[in-house]
Amino acid sequence: MSDTLLPDRSDTAVFEPKTALPAPLRADGRRELIGLSREQLAAELAELGAPAFRARQLWQWIYVRGVTSFEGMTDLSKDFRAKLAARFVIGRPEITRQQQSIDGTQKWLLRFADGQEAECVHIPEEDRGTLCVSSQVGCTLSCKFCHTGTQKLVRNLTPSEIVSQIMLCRDAFGEWPAGEGDSRKLTNIVLMGMGEPLFNYDNVAQAMRIALDPAGLALSRRKITLSTSGVVPMIRRCGEELRLALAISLHAVTDELRDVLVPLNRKYPIAELMAACRDYPGLSNARRITFEYVMLKGVNDSPAEAKQLLKLLSGIPSKVNLIPFNPWPGSPYECSDEATIDKFAAILMRAGYVAPVRTPRGRDIMAACGQLKSDSERVRKSKTLAVPAPTGS
């Protein structure tokens, strides 16, 4: 990977999160309501002369009932509904492709208002259903083993675009009204789709506050996991403000190797990352950090590295997720063989760590960890070719 893709220390723009902004006005002059904070929604309605309780009613309709039109809001006057419809929309991203794996995993390619695309994935399991949510289109970080990292085209997703992935999944499974329940297909969220969530912190935070709102989508903090490649300065703030479960993409036990695999390590080396983990607010045996470790054949999978990993984790309430490498076209690595992975896991388990080997899900539709890529450029190009040029009138 070229160094120019990696922001240097003076490039603070990338590292200083900007305040989350409401979704921009659409071409038709209306504003998207999904993704506005409660306060922003109340302010928008106040401009129409509506009292504060109207914002609470709307919030319920949108996030508890999942309605997508003002027509269905039967406790609002016809007049007020018409006013709302003239100014606002409650939309969903367009689904441009939907694929289902033989193991039941589903992947949606979503197109947003400006034509940019990102993927999200639903993984059904016996005791839960997890939605893997994207936070950016592509990723600036170029980890060597990750398909998303090869996609140059990048922008941050807005709070609206992040929350919409959850809304859309509830739509797909008919799981409105929102709430908890064992039989639900959507119970957990992992911020492990495209992008580095801590490089888009403010938008991710606003979206997660909406997801957690007890009078709305009502997801539980324990069931939302944010995965980061190690944006050290943001880890503490994220822990204090959101108190989500944290996962760290570690993947190597020496700076020499991690510099290559996860180039962000050159900026925030392992010692700094582990110190930030030790300081993670609320850390306890009941709230452990998950360390993700992708198994790359002959690269990071030796018994000596497993032992070194134990040393790094010492004193941090943690568990390890061993992820068999998921290949993608042109990927430079191979997955470690099963016996090697088992040996690595056994060393961790003998030392008392929970160290499950993650079962790859949705590999056949390129929906497994690190396989996501929206190919927006290519898709757009082929669409442009397919659309006949306007003839003029």
Residue 142 interacts, among ligand SAH, ligand SF4, none and using kind-specific CB cut-offs from 5 to 8 Å, with ligand SF4
Among residues 206, 244, 220, the alpha carbon closest in space to that of 34 is found at 206
Which residues are CB-contacts of 185 (< 8 A; sequence separation ≥ 6)? 122, 124, 129, 173, 175
- Quick one: 210 or 294, whose CB is closer to ligand SAH? 294
Minimum separation from the CB atom of position 270 to ligand SAH (A):
15
Give the dihedral of Cα atoms 307, 311, 315, 321; nearest 10 deg.
-40
**Residue from 40, 101, 151, 249 in contact with ligand SAH (CB under 6 A):** 249
Residue 392 Ramachandran class (φ > 0 left, ψ -120 to 50 alpha, else beta): left
Smallest separation (angstroms) from ligand SAH to the CB of 247 = 7
Q: Hey, what amino acid is at 338?
A: E
190-229 footprint of ligand SAH as x/- string (CB under 6 A): --x---x------------------------------xxx
Q: Is 369 in the site for ligand SAH (CB under 6 A)?
A: yes
Q: Is 290 one of the binding residues for ligand SAH (CB under 6 A)?
A: no
Assigned token pair, 177:
């009204």
Instruction: Count the residues in the chain.
Output: 393
Residue 325 interface partner, choices ligand SAH, ligand SF4, none, CB cut-off 5-8 Å depending on type? ligand SAH
Beta-strand ranges (E) seen in 28-116 are 31-32, 88-89, 94-100, 106-111
Which 8-state DSSP code applies to residue 74?
Answer: T
Decide if 334 contacts 327 (C-beta within 8 A): yes
365 binds, among ligand SF4, ligand SAH, none (CB under 5 to 8 A by kind): none
Nearer to ligand SAH, 22 or 370 (CB): 370
Which of the listed partners (ligand SF4, ligand SAH, none) does 294 bind, with a CB threshold of 5 to 8 Å by partner kind? ligand SAH
In angstroms, the Cα distances linking 344 to 248, 249, 299 are: 18, 17, 13
For residue 177, whether the previous peptide bond is cis, meaning omega lies within 30 degrees of 0, is yes
| For ligand SF4, the closer CB: 40 or 151 | 151
| Residue (36 or 224) nearer to ligand SF4, CB | 224
Q: Can residue 292 be called a binding residue for ligand SAH (CB under 6 A)?
A: yes
Contact footprint for ligand SF4 (CB under 6 A):
139, 141-143, 146, 148-149, 195-196, 229, 249, 370
Cα 75 to Cα 54: distance, rounded to the nearest angstrom? 10
Q: Which of 59, 70, 88, 145 binds ligand SAH (CB under 6 A)?
A: 145
Closer to ligand SF4 by CB, 149 or 327: give it: 149
Q: Among all residues, which ones are annotated catalytic?
A: 119, 369
Beta carbon of residue 5, minimum distance to ligand SAH (angstroms, whole number): 14
Nearest to 247 by CA among 275, 230, 228: 228
Closest approach of Cβ 322 to ligand SF4, in Å?
Answer: 16
Binding at 192: pick from ligand SAH, ligand SF4, none (beta carbon under 5-8 Å per type): ligand SAH
- Minimal distance, residue 276 CB to ligand SF4, in Å: 16
Under rule CB under 6 A, residue 156 binds ligand SAH? no
Q: Cβ closer to ligand SAH: 189 or 192?
A: 192
**Cβ proximity to ligand SAH, 59 vs 325, nearer residue:** 325
Q: Give me the least distance between CB of 36 and ligand SF4, in Å please.
A: 27
β-strand 106-111 against 94-100: which pairing, if any?
antiparallel
Closest separation between CB of residue 344 and ligand SF4, Å? 20
Tokens of 370: 């690190």
Q: Are 142 and 6 in contact (CB under 8 A)?
A: yes
DSSP string computed for 114-173: TS-EEEEEEEE-SS-EEEE---EES-SS--TT-SGGG----EEPPHHHHHHHHHHHHHHH
Cβ neighbours for 329, distance < 8 A, ≥ 6 positions apart: none
Q: Applying CB under 6 A, which residues contact ligand SAH?
A: 143, 145-146, 192, 196, 227-229, 249, 292, 294, 323, 325-326, 369-370
